[in-house]
Every structure is written in C-alpha cells, then in structure tokens.
C-alpha cells in the first residue's frame, strides 16, 4: 500500500470513530503488516540485550515480535486502554509477559532513556514532534525505525528500505547533547 493509500485508510479509520472519545488519540490505529514488523526489527538489528520501545503500540504486534527474539525486552506505549489490555492478554497467552510490557501512557510523556530501539508507525507530523524528545532522551547510538513516515529533512535516515508497500526508515540517535531543532 503506497503512502497516499495508507493516509486515506488512516483518515477513514478516524472518520469511522474507531477511537474512544475520552482519550485524545493523535495517531490513528492502523495495524502494521507482519512483513513490515519483521523488516523493522531486522533493519534496526534488534539482538540480545536490546530494549525495544514501540510508541503507539496498538495491538502489541511489534512488542511481541521483539520479545520473541532471544534476550530482548520490549515495551509498548499506548493510550487506548482496550488495546493495552488485549496486548497484555496476548503476551500472557504467548508466554511473553516477563519480556513484553505494555503501558497505558502518552508517548510524549513516557521516559525513553532505557530504549536501545524505538519503533514508530505514526503520521509524519507526530514523528517530527517526537524528534526533539528522541534526541533529548535516547543515548547515542540508539536506533529509531519508522514505517511509512520520515522525521523531516532535519534528520536524515541512515538507511531506507521498502516493505509492504511503504518505506521503512532507520535513524541512529545522536545522543542527549544533540540540538532539539
């Protein structure tokens, strides 16, 4: 699915009222295709010792896929209480509850300092708003991977690949001393 088609789908999901009114959801819920999940984790080089944070984790598929990798711990940050509950149940059912954590939290308020990898499937404007937070909180060398949407021209990706009809972007965090511009 091309980015324009994806945007049309995202807006259709929003218009259909898929999100609860009591929670302000800034990134509509669209499932990441399984092949894109695999591509994102591979592009980031996720390996033993990594702590993967998925911002806007939805049903938890990226977190669960990361937690299945030996020696990897994963954390999903999601506002929708129902999705957090379902993701926790899926983690328990898969025997991954010790390595897959789901927090009901606004990702702009979550502390990201322990993450060695951050995954995103958010709209471009949300990615750009997150960029200063990522630069501020992530240690130098942490990897950031986004499906379909970039971080703007101020942060050039290290690599870009194609998966499931969209680009997958990889950035390396400059560290806490980088400018937030």
Cα–Cα distance between 131 and 181 in angstroms, integer? 8
Please determine, for residue 116, whether its predicted confidence score (pLDDT) is greater than 90. Answer: yes
- Band (10; pLDDT cuts 50, 70, 90): very low
| Nearest one of 141, 20, 2 to 82, comparing CA atoms | 20
Kindly tell me the burial class for residue 116, based on how many C-beta atoms sit within 10 Å of its own C-beta (0-12, 13-18, 19 or more): buried
Kindly tell me the burial class for residue 177, based on how many C-beta atoms sit within 10 Å of its own C-beta (0-12, 13-18, 19 or more): exposed
Per-residue model confidence (pLDDT) at position 77: 98
Please determine, for residue 124, whether its predicted confidence score (pLDDT) is greater than 70. Answer: yes
Please determine, for residue 6, whether its predicted confidence score (pLDDT) is greater than 60. Answer: no
Longest CA–CA span in the chain (Å) reads: 43
Per-residue model confidence (pLDDT) at position 16: 36
Task: Please report, for the chain, the start and end positions of each structural domain, with discontinuous segments joined by +.
Answer: 3-172
Q: Which fold has domain 3-172?
A: Rossmann fold (3.40.50)
In this prediction, residues 152-162 reach a mean pLDDT of 95
Q: pLDDT digit string (tens) for 25-82?
A: 555 788 999 999 999 999 999 999 999 999 999 999 999 999 999 999 999 999 999 9
Cα–Cα distance between 1 and 146 in angstroms, integer? 15
Instruction: Give the residue, 126 or 24, on which the prediction is more confident.
Output: 126
Using the Cα atoms of residue 110, residue 44, residue 102 and residue 72 in order, give the sign of their dihedral. Answer: negative
In eight-state DSSP terms, residue 19 is S
Cα–Cα distance between 131 and 146 in angstroms, integer? 12
Query: Phi/psi of residue 100, each to 5°?
Result: -125, 110
What is the percentage of the chain residues whose pLDDT exceeds 90?
78
Per-residue model confidence (pLDDT) at position 12: 36
């Amino acid at each position: 699915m091309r980015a324009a088609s994806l945007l049309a789908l995202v807006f259709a999901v929003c218009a259909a009222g898929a999100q609860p009114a009591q929670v302000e959801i800034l990134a509509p819920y669209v499932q990441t295709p399984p092949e894109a999940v695999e591509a994102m984790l591979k592009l980031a080089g996720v390996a033993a010792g990594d702590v993967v944070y998925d911002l806007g984790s939805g049903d938890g598929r990226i977190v669960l896929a990361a937690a299945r990798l030996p020696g990897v711990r994963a954390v999903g940050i999601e506002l929708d209480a129902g999705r957090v509950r379902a993701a926790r149940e899926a983690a328990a059912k898969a025997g991954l509850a010790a390595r897959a954590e789901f927090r009901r939290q606004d990702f702009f308020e979550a502390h990201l300092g322990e993450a060695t990898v951050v995954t995103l499937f958010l709209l471009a404007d949300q990615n750009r708003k997150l960029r200063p937070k990522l630069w501020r909180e992530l240690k130098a060398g942490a990897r950031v991977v986004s499906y379909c949407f970039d971080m703007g021209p101020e942060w050039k990706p290290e690599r870009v690949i194609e998966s499931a009809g969209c680009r997958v972007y990889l950035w390396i965090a400059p560290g806490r001393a980088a400018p937030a511009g």
